[in-house]
Structure 1
Amino acid sequence: MPPGITTLAADAPTLSAANTGFMLICSALVMLMTPGLAFFYGGMVRVKSTLNMLMMSFISLGIVTILWVLYGFSLAFGTDIGSVIGWNSDYVGLSGIGITQLWDGYTIPVYVFAVFQLMFAVITPALISGALADRVKFTSWALFITLWVTVVYFPVAHWVWGAGGWLFELGVIDFAGGTAVHINAGAAALGVILVIGKRVGFKKDPMRPHSLPLVMLGAGLLWFGWFGFNAGSWLGNDDGVGAVMFVNTQVATAAAMLAWLGYEKLRHGSFTTLGAASGAVAGLVAITPSGGAVSPLGAIAVGAIAGVLCAMAVGLKYRFGYDDSLDVVGVHLVGGVAGSLLVGFFATGGVQSDAKGLFYGGGLDQLGKQAVGVFAVLAYSLVVSAILAFLLDRTIGMRVDEDDEISGIDQVEHAETAYDFSGAGGGAAPRTTASAPAPGTTATPQTKKVDA
């Protein structure tokens, strides 16, 4: 996000129809990312958990939207209180905002900024859900989202992007959410799974994706929507910074996908569709904090490094025994950390700010700031998320019963199944006819299908 701009009354900005329209389109693109994430995650689980995985993303659209309007926008972007939280009574219920009132220093209405930021708030807890596949009660998940965005996401968003937030004032660069979104969600996922434990059959039963086409569809929608996520975070494009971010988003994603596939081929001998999709997402994650600070060549480096690191990291769950079902920790936490820290190496000082990284003569100053932001958000989200999961687990329970997990969470929690095979084909039922036994064999009737 761009820093706040101080203007004199005579130089006060006026509403820009172009920037307003651009930001509304970007908001819609970011909204599309949550259904895209639902498909991405939904294809990666087994058939019996497909609907639950879709719903764990979609419910965030409902819960977080209402909370954002009621108090979330005020907590995240209201007047600073002690550098840790914001508050503005005019933002409560969005009731005290004029329809033409501009966001401070910019040429877009407050309403447009609020709805753009809402979509970030929606997708962040949805990202966590991939780590918890197959085993969490839907009611408990809904309550967890409510508590988590209130005590984790809204404050962290203020730290990173709110005027007066302590990481904002420190000078941590996070263009579009490496810390506030991806490290935040990845650390939260790790905190929760350490509390709720492993799936039944983890490291014993095959838990392969049931629909790789759905995974690829979801990855494509995420890639498409991410242009709004990243380029829109400059809140306009009067100076070309948003255009640079758009280009870097594409470049880093391509580099990460290729790097993941190369690592996969060397390590496992195959180029997989799951690897291509996962690599693309890893690149999107890594360029999110850094894309406004690096050149396109730097974006290639960021994407390639993140692609390899994330490909390596997804195997850590088997070494250390934590069950991160769909590799939220391996992709979002590791990718977010990589992208945020790499700002300290590859920042050119010629795009969103004059801050330079180590490779451009800036020394270790920016890298130190980035490290503070990374580990502050990681530690806070990890600890608080684990506490929330522990409290819910000890009160209403976080997990479904073991028998229900084995039989399928879709039926238990949603009374539905993703696919109905009972009438597959839609034609007449196949008929069978007996064939004569071969000479010298027992005369047991054999059947063969007769085309209807």
Structure 2
Amino acid sequence: MSVQAAWEACSKTDTLFILVCSVFCWLIIPAVGLAYSGYSTRYNSLASFYPGLLAVAVCSIQWWMLGYSLAYGEGNSVFGGFSKIFHIGVLAEPVGSIPEILFSEFQLIFCATVCAIAIGGACERGRLLPLIPFIFLWCTFIYAPLAHMVWSENGFLANLGALDFAGGTPVHICSGATATAMSLYLSYPLFRSKRSPIRTPQHLILHKPHNTLCQLLALIIIWNAWLAFDAGTTLALNFKSVMAACVTNLCAASGALTWASLTYYETGKWSLDSTFLGAIAGLVLITPSAGFIDMTTAVGFGVLGASLGRQALRIKFTKRAALLRWVDNGDTFATHCLGGFLGTIVTGLFARREVAAYDGSTIIKGGVVFDGNWGQLWIQIVEAVIGFVWSFGGSYVLYALVDCVPGFEVLGTDEYVLFPSALGFYWSMLMRYRDIIAGMDASQMGESLHAAQWEGEEDYHPFEGVRL
């Protein structure tokens, strides 16, 4: 079939719908960076935002080269194979009713979103350079095979009967487990970061989010774009896509109100941070089930996700967490990892055959509560466990391997160094920390989101020593 004939076979309405959804979903990636920037101290704000841009850049190249083929190419039950490397033959051939190239682009955005969330585990501590090879390897060996297992026609978990509408396991469990693995490795480095005396995790300090404006913008963008994230998963404009958007919004709303209300009950103050985390908890819980549950169930999911997520968040503030060097700067473990695990399991409880069939073609056996299918619950548990073990174990190994390479030490330096005084002609005897305490912006970036962050910032000569 020629490209033009294949294009004529595609639905223009569905194509336009998924194209618009893709544009909206792309905004989630920098919005995740905004959220991490808001959570970080002002000395780390730009370095916490920047990995999100690295994620979309590296993932785009990797997806074109290998990722799409490994995730959706023909292969075995775990890997998709190499039939579509470099997008050979990926043009207008319909996938459902949209061109395959658009399907690939939509799935790329999923991959980059998961990656942007996952590398939050390195916020305020991890160096930026090692993230580039890590992201490429992670997309190749962690995300692509997991997406293939869950969503590909011949994937292991798909054939097992797992219900995962928009990514409870490939999106949230994968990102949360990866972030947790990175964070633990930075606390207990094994290779070059461990051998170097200047790289020690002495800097573990809990702090409040420094920039609520970043959190506010991130909340607005993510909440809005996640409606397209779930609705677009149907790959067509039909009543099921409409329903998915509606239950997604409702679950986020109930989650935001629940978390914020619990905080108000305890402190007597309303909190944007609590509202943000509650909405995220709701979005996480609804992701695997958006195409399988009704409106009333969505409200309950939001309340459940926010309530349990808030309790899980307390873990990082305990004495035992400090003793174990537990760091979760982006709160990915409480919201994404545990929330994704919970969302995957409750999908097996409350999925409904009637709702799944709103697109006119999907047939499922349903879940426990409405359809009496107890077997679905065990399938969901198996999916969640495999997703966590695959993501956590594989990410830990990959991060450690990158740390083995000279020059790619993953942990920022934490040594004492001498800095010149403000007058500039003598050395101050004050000892200051390098990299992490001074700020990752100062050590890893050439710019800052805040004025006068480090000495000499006002003396700007970007082309000094360069012939123009």
TM-score bin, normalised by smaller chain: 0.7 to 0.9
Instruction: Name the residue aligned to 1:85.
Output: 79
2:450 to 419, 432, 437: 419
- The residue correspondences of 1:31-430 to structure 2 (distance < 5 A) are 31-81=26-76, 83-89=77-83, 91-98=84-91, 100-103=92-95, 106-197=96-187, 200-202=202-204, 205=205, 207-238=207-238, 240-319=239-318, 320-321=320-321, 322-352=326-356, 353-395=363-405, 396-402=408-414, 403-420=434-451
TM-score, normalised with respect to structure 2: 0.83
TM-score, normalised with respect to structure 1: 0.86
Residues of 2 paired with 1:236 and 1:335: CA distance? 27
Q: Runs of 5+ in structure 1 lacking a partner? A: 1-12, 423-452
Amino acid in the other structure paired with 1:92: I
Q: Following TM superposition, by how much is the alpha carbon of 1:269 offset from its aligned partner in structure 2, in angstroms?
A: 4.0
Residues of 1 paired with 2:404 and 2:267: CA distance? 41
Contact 1:80 1:162 in 2 (8 A): no
Provide the secondary structure at the position in 2 that maps to 1:359: helix
Provide the secondary structure at the position in 1 that maps to 2:354: coil
Provide the secondary structure at the position in 1 that maps to 2:48: helix
**What is the number of residues matched between the two proteins?**
402
Residues of 1 paired with 2:290 and 2:212: CA distance? 29
Amino acid in the other structure paired with 2:368: L
Amino acid in the other structure paired with 1:333: C
Larger radius of gyration: 1
Q: Following TM superposition, by how much is the alpha carbon of 1:195 offset from its aligned partner in structure 2, in angstroms?
A: 1.3
Q: Following TM superposition, by how much is the alpha carbon of 1:343 offset from its aligned partner in structure 2, in angstroms?
A: 0.9
Q: Following TM superposition, by how much is the alpha carbon of 1:294 offset from its aligned partner in structure 2, in angstroms?
A: 0.6
Structure 1 window deviating more from structure 2 (389-398 vs 130-139): it is 389-398
Contact 1:178 1:340 in 2 (8 A): yes
Contact 2:119 2:178 in 1 (8 A): no
Amino acid in the other structure paired with 1:366: Q
Provide the secondary structure at the position in 2 that maps to 1:176: coil
Provide the secondary structure at the position in 2 that maps to 1:80: coil
Provide the secondary structure at the position in 2 that maps to 1:69: helix
Amino acid in the other structure paired with 1:123: T
Residues of 1 paired with 2:178 and 2:82: CA distance? 27
Contact 2:365 2:371 in 1 (8 A): no
- The residue correspondences of 1:13-24 to structure 2 (distance < 5 A) are 14-24=9-19
Amino acid in the other structure paired with 1:246: A
Q: Following TM superposition, by how much is the alpha carbon of 1:192 offset from its aligned partner in structure 2, in angstroms?
A: 1.6
Residues of 2 paired with 1:88 and 1:140: CA distance? 26
Provide the secondary structure at the position in 2 that maps to 1:139: coil
Amino acid in the other structure paired with 2:88: S
Residues of 2 paired with 1:14 and 1:125: CA distance? 33
Structure 1 window deviating more from structure 2 (291-300 vs 314-323): it is 314-323
Provide the secondary structure at the position in 2 that maps to 1:174: coil
Q: Following TM superposition, by how much is the alpha carbon of 1:206 offset from its aligned partner in structure 2, in angstroms?
A: 5.1
Amino acid in the other structure paired with 1:415: G
Cα offsets for 1:36-76 (capped at 9, x unmatched) = 11111111111111111111111111100001001110000
Amino acid in the other structure paired with 2:435: D
Q: Following TM superposition, by how much is the alpha carbon of 1:421 offset from its aligned partner in structure 2, in angstroms?
A: 5.3
Cα offsets for 1:90-112 (capped at 9, x unmatched) = x22123234x3111xx1100011
